[in-house]
């Protein structure tokens, strides 16, 4: 099994669960939902599935789907299952590739660091669904890989600097079947799906790697360089962990609410109190991308106080 990603221009987020509800029927994936098959066989089937009633089975060949994004990073996760050790190792040569990895004939994961394949000690069990998570950062030109929520490689340089042509490629060069399900690709953070957090401190690996050079490099409760916020608080608020960078809440001109710059995958909860000596009570939850609260509950009040709580969704 091999995966390769390159990305740039307009279709993310992309999700594929190979279900009838997505417009996918049993039989070859070629021509369904924008997928193209090159090679022998890649069939949507019902016998082995990770979720729902259908999943993709690849037996020799590669399937392609266009991906495009204006963002500077890509979050990708999917489920895969190998029936047996692959009978052949692929070679990636496409200069448009951003990142690539595969399971080799020893069932070890192999990641590309630049154009060099590097065998990891991580082994992939057979006949078990495995979740793979990829974070690809085009600003910093690195990518990370996790298997079942545990980081196995981080800070790898991208295969190529060329990200102008975008596609997702899933292939199986061997003869033993490989199954794939629940593909999810986005260019904003996908926290609802449970991003890998190897040290369990509520800051995902990608953020620790991007800002501190390792997937577990930050102590979440330590003070950041940003005005007394902890590192965890800077991550949740989406502000700098290094310098003064306040989360700005702006009162509406009429004094009946506030606005802010929202961060993807965040939930903003508004609380209100008639005075600072009274307890705040919850009014409303406003998920990203909402960026404004207008108070309709206290139209006649001459005074009041708002509190805005930010959570990762």
Piece in contact with Ca ion (CB under 5 A), picked from 91-99, 177-185, 239-247, 270-278: 177-185
Question: Does position 201 bind Ca ion by CB under 5 A?
Answer: yes
Site size with Ca ion, rule: CB under 5 A:
10
Chain centre distance of CA 38: 27
Q: Shortest distance, CB of residue 33 to Ca ion, whole angstroms?
A: 12
Piece in contact with Ca ion (CB under 5 A), picked from 40-48, 71-79, 202-210, 293-301: 202-210
| Alpha-carbon span 232 to 244, nearest angstrom | 15
Piece in contact with Ca ion (CB under 5 A), picked from 34-42, 52-60, 71-79, 157-165: 52-60
Q: Shortest distance, CB of residue 244 to Ca ion, whole angstroms?
A: 24
| Closer residue to Ca ion (CB): 18 or 293 | 18
Q: Shortest distance, CB of residue 266 to Ca ion, whole angstroms?
A: 17
| Closer residue to Ca ion (CB): 90 or 204 | 204
| Alpha-carbon span 13 to 187, nearest angstrom | 7
Q: Please select the residue that binds Ca ion; options are 28, 45, 52, 274, rule is CB under 5 A.
A: 52
| Closer residue to Ca ion (CB): 55 or 80 | 55
| Closer residue to Ca ion (CB): 235 or 293 | 235
| Alpha-carbon span 24 to 20, nearest angstrom | 5
Q: Shortest distance, CB of residue 308 to Ca ion, whole angstroms?
A: 25
Piece in contact with Ca ion (CB under 5 A), picked from 87-95, 98-106, 193-201, 269-277: 193-201
Question: Does position 197 bind Ca ion by CB under 5 A?
Answer: yes
Find tokens 């417009």 and name the residue: 23
Q: Please select the residue that binds Ca ion; options are 199, 227, 245, 284, rule is CB under 5 A.
A: 199
Binding mask of the shown chain, residues 252 to 281, with x at each position contacting Ca ion by CB under 5 A: ------------------------------
Q: Shortest distance, CB of residue 64 to Ca ion, whole angstroms?
A: 19
Piece in contact with Ca ion (CB under 5 A), picked from 3-11, 74-82, 105-113, 203-211: 203-211
Interface residue list for Ca ion (CB under 5 A): 17-18, 51-52, 55, 181, 197, 199, 201, 203
């Amino acid at each position: 099994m091999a995966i390769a990603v390159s990305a740039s221009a307009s279709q993310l987020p992309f999700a594929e669960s190979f279900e009838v509800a997505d417009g996918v029927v049993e039989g070859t994936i070629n021509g369904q939902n924008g997928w193209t098959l090159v090679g022998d066989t890649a069939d949507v089937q019902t016998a082995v599935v990770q979720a729902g009633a259908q999943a993709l089975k690849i037996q020799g060949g590669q399937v392609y789907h266009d991906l495009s994004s204006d963002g500077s990073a890509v979050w990708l996760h999917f489920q895969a299952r190998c029936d047996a050790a692959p009978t052949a190792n692929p070679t990636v040569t496409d200069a448009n590739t951003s990142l690539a990895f595969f399971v080799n004939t020893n069932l070890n994961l192999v990641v590309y660091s630049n154009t060099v394949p590097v065998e990891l000690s991580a082994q992939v069990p057979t006949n078990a669904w495995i979740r793979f998570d990829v974070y690809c950062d085009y600003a910093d030109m690195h990518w990370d890989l996790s298997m079942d929520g545990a980081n196995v490689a981080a800070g790898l340089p991208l295969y190529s600097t060329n990200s102008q042509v975008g596609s997702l490629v899933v292939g199986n060069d061997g003869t033993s079947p490989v199954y794939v399900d629940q593909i999810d690709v986005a260019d904003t953070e996908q926290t609802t799906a449970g991003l890998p957090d190897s040290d369990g401190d509520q800051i995902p690996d990608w953020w620790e790697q991007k800002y501190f050079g390792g997937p577990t490099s930050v102590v979440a409760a330590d003070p950041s360089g940003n005005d007394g916020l902890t590192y965890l608080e800077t991550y949740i608020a989406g502000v700098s962990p290094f310098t003064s960078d306040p989360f700005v809440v702006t009162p509406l001109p009429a004094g009946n609410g506030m606005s802010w710059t929202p961060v993807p995958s965040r939930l903003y909860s508004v609380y209100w109190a008639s005075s600072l000596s009274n307890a705040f009570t919850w009014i409303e939850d406003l998920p990203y991308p909402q960026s404004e609260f207008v108070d309709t509950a206290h139209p006649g009040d001459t005074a009041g106080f708002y509190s805005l709580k930010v959570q990762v969704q």
